[in-house]
Amino acid sequence: MSHHHDHALPQPPAPIRMPTSARNVAVLLVLLGLGTLAWAFQAGRPELAWSSYLIGAYYTLALGVFGALWISVQHLGRGVWSVTMRRVPEAMTSWLLPGGLLALAVGLGAPYLYHWSHVEAVAQDELLQHKSPFLNTTMFYVLMSVCLGAWVLLARAITGNSRRQDQEGGIELTRRNGVLSAVFVIVFALSISVVGFYLLMSLEPHWFSTMFAVLLFTDALQTGTAFVALVVGYLILRGDFSGFVTRNHLHSLGKMVFATTGFWAYIALCQFLLIWYANIPEETVYYIRRWENGWQPYLLLLPVVKFLVPFIFMVPRCCKREPQPLMMASAWLLFAQLWELYMMVAPAVGHGESAAHGHLPCVEFTVGVGFLAAFYLLFAYCLGRHGAVPLKDPALQESLEYHPA
């Protein structure tokens, strides 16, 4: 491979600057989301406000941690093909600190979201008493802080080494990131369960599912890959990656988006079938609750929105290789993730006679899009602060010559 390194590199791209118009739109969407959230509180609907906040906070947090997961998996799998687009997932990790703090703030809304936060409810419920050493506000803040802190520290170490390599070069920093990536993958595998269980699964503390953590991982994988594909496709169209990211790179990225869509359907179906044929009340309550009180059409739309539409659309080769159709599919999947989180959170709000009823997700989606716009603003700022391509990565030349099998 040494003879490859004699080839001249393309003209190094300038730091990436996102359009001012996109920034202005994002600012307006953030303000709209904040205004909608404030309206929900002022209208005396704190359950709606906090459930909308939870959807947006978890959605963007998952995008941020996926950036670190992407980099780690590529390091461990020797995925040199993605070296030239690595700055995109690196910029995604910038959300982990503010996003983690926003996720911790969900604890302030615990009385409106989590049945286990009510002392009188725990006193009358044997199962909640059994779970109380884990399901209490103190442990919520402690374990969430530990998990989110580990994500932030490891992500910063990995991205810091990558950016130092832009000045120092050499392979030593790549090796260090290989070790850190192995640590991060292990930490992520353990901590995504804790974070997901506290924020989402404990909305229904009587419910059991051994597949839920896997489903959350699949969600992060599908949505995060779609976000990377959307940004990379746009930057290719604009010419920012000229000579560094080709249709070959985009094709592999498109295949990943396509594969994760099928993977999500497989895991979601596994969870449903395990619950269906076991027919245990502690498990079936999840789907029963989303079948009653007007939620049925929203639930039935979920597999159509998140699997059927994007899967059929992406079957042709051109939809995985050309920027425009890949961007369309990726944008659709970002919307689909909002829909799934809406189905996870909204029907679980309230208990007994005060249980939530099916409704159009106007408030939830407006607040969620506001969170996504805030994520984009920080992402775009961090993307433009560093070189568009890691020019001194030892695997850069091999990445430039990449041709998928």
pLDDT at 238: 93
Sign of the CA dihedral running 124, 128, 132, 136: negative
Give the number of other CB atoms < 10 A from CB of residue 239: 9
Neighbours of 129 (CB within 10 A): 13
Query: What pLDDT was estimated at residue 3?
Result: 41
Q: What pTM, to 2 d.p., does this model score? A: 0.95
**DSSP 8-class letter at 306:** I
Using the Cα atoms of residue 176, residue 251, residue 26 and residue 218 in order, give the sign of their dihedral.
negative
| pLDDT for res 352 | 63
What is the rounded distance in angstroms from the CA atom of residue 26 to the CA atom of residue 29?
A: 5
DSSP string of 313-324? HH-STHHHHSHH
What's the confidence (pLDDT) of residue 353? Answer: 66
Comparing CA positions, the residue from 157, 172, 185, 176 lying closest to residue 90 is 157
- Is residue 89 within 8 A of residue 102, CB to CB? The reply is no
Cα dihedral: 276, 277, 283, 285 (round 10): 40
pLDDT of residue 2: 39
| 202 neighbors 208 (Cβ within 8 angstroms) | no
Q: Rounded distance, CA 362 to CA 368, Å?
A: 10
Give dist(CA 261, CA 246) in Å, integer. Answer: 23
pLDDT value for 405: 65
Closest C-alpha to 145, from 198, 184, 204: 198
Closest CA to 173 of 399, 394, 396: 394
Instruction: Compute the distance between CA of residue 94 and CA of residue 66 in angstroms, rounded to an integer.
Output: 11
- Per-residue DSSP letter, 103: H
**Amino acid symbol at 348:** A
Tens digit of pLDDT at every position of the chain (405 positions): 334 445 577 888 888 999 999 999 999 999 999 999 999 999 999 999 999 999 999 999 999 999 999 999 999 998 899 999 999 999 999 999 999 999 999 999 999 999 999 999 999 999 999 999 999 999 999 999 999 999 999 999 999 999 999 999 889 999 999 999 999 999 999 999 999 999 999 999 999 888 999 999 999 999 999 999 999 999 999 999 988 998 899 999 999 999 999 999 999 999 999 999 999 988 999 999 999 999 999 999 999 999 999 999 999 999 999 999 999 999 999 999 999 999 999 999 977 667 889 899 999 999 999 999 999 999 999 999 988 999 999 999 999 888 876
CA angle 37, 38, 44 (to 5 degrees): 100
